[in-house]
Structure 1
């Protein structure tokens, strides 16, 4: 991967009105262990460096920080539905139908999911760690979009983003017991389970009726591609944060 600030999911390329991207760890000013494009304000990084990183990221997308809607995430299943930018507390999904407002979530191993209802012009950004995945936050968000805007699966395009991969997400029974067998495998040698978060979230999009050809799953891993992405697990908790963002231009 070239050292770019972000990748744009190909699934959204057909919509010129849309801005959707997932950041990398490249192109910022933060020093190790946050090198270099740390976008997370909750880290112990220099706040001035984070602010400059955010300025660069938003400028690269052609937007500004005052157009962003985000929330302090708590690994829960609350959804913030908004037509205004700003910062909330306690939500792990952000939904908007307002042009010029961009839904954003922060990640460092958890799964980012971006959704666009092309008919009703609604965008959603979701942060799903294992708790958000088993609480079916993607399905809950889609249901709320259906109730509020008339969203249908056939009109949605979805991106399941870069996160910890199945061969790196080693868990005990305390976590594995929450997942259906199709999303986990048991390793006899390690006596541990391995969970596939990408597939567990992608299935919620498919179950809502999102066609397979309107769904993209990132081929990257925060762990295996740690040179390009921050990983909380691979870097033992001391690392930067990535973001995933989506919204319509003004």
Structure 2
């Protein structure tokens, strides 16, 4: 349970890097009314644009991030990766990577899994949006490969965070979706006659398969469904809800 109603939480796995800005927002501290109460930062929701703009302003201000230095994409649950060379709004990408300081990468979520990666060796970062489709497409592993190809990243130098998303017990799927997941990441609930998928474990395993050491991977202890007083949940709120934002970037040291 989150004790304070803060606008964001900082993943502890990144605590020892003073120039790294990494955070995931909560639903607290904004101006939106129900069902978007209160810090809805989702551009593609039916909340008023003025509310969303003010919420994003508050979040970026609290992180001391200039909105003009933010990169985001309209996400499509695919496996395309964008190498960000300038901030802005893009379309069709579910993962963003950069080695440019003062370029802050963002993904929006409300049950899907946000994954943030910091390459401490080459000073590069990645932000990934992985729902079940992105997870099955192994977007996390593809993003680590893109970091290697673009920036010479060594996975052993990377630190990563698997963020707040839907928990396994809440994520019911049918056999057509469950069949695309490894056995270790699903279980069948006989009472509900549904499969239950563990998105956090599936994406953490991809990070490890890509070569990132397990002690350098943090996993959020929170669930968008079980803790939806602190986080938006698309499923728990029947699709009419706000979005959180996960952000990562390096502040230049000069």
Q: Where has structure 1 moved over 4 Å in runs of 4 or more? A: none
How far did 1:196 drift? 0.1
How far did 1:122 drift? 0.4
Query: After the TM superposition, which residues 99-178 of structure 1 pair with which residues of structure 2 at under 5 Å, given as runs?
Result: 99-178=101-180
Alignment partners' CA distance in 1, 2:34 and 2:194? 32
> 2:220 — aligned with what?
218
> 2:71 — aligned with what?
69
Q: Deviations over 1:53-102 (max 9, x none)?
A: 00000000001211101100000000010121011110000101100000
SS in 2 for 1:167: helix
TM-score normalised over the length of structure 1: 0.99
> 1:81 — aligned with what?
83
For structure 1, list consecutive stretches of 5 or more residues without a partner in the other structure: none
Q: 2:210 aligns with which of 200, 203, 208?
A: 208
> 2:193 — aligned with what?
191
TM-score normalised over the length of structure 2: 0.97
Alignment partners' CA distance in 2, 1:123 and 1:223? 28
Alignment partners' CA distance in 1, 2:132 and 2:161? 17
Alignment partners' CA distance in 1, 2:190 and 2:26? 34
> 2:181 — aligned with what?
179
- Number of residue pairs the alignment of both structures matches: 250
Q: Deviations over 1:178-216 (max 9, x none)?
A: 101100000111111000000000001111111111110
How far did 1:4 drift? 0.3
Deviates more, 1:63-72 or 1:231-240: 63-72
Alignment partners' CA distance in 1, 2:85 and 2:207? 23
Query: After the TM superposition, which residues 12-51 of structure 1 pair with which residues of structure 2 at under 5 Å, given as runs?
Result: 12-51=14-53
- Find out whether 1:4 has 2:2 as its counterpart: no
For structure 2, list consecutive stretches of 5 or more residues without a partner in the other structure: none
> 1:240 — aligned with what?
242
SS in 1 for 2:227: coil
Q: Deviations over 1:126-168 (max 9, x none)?
A: 0000000000000000001111111111100000000000000
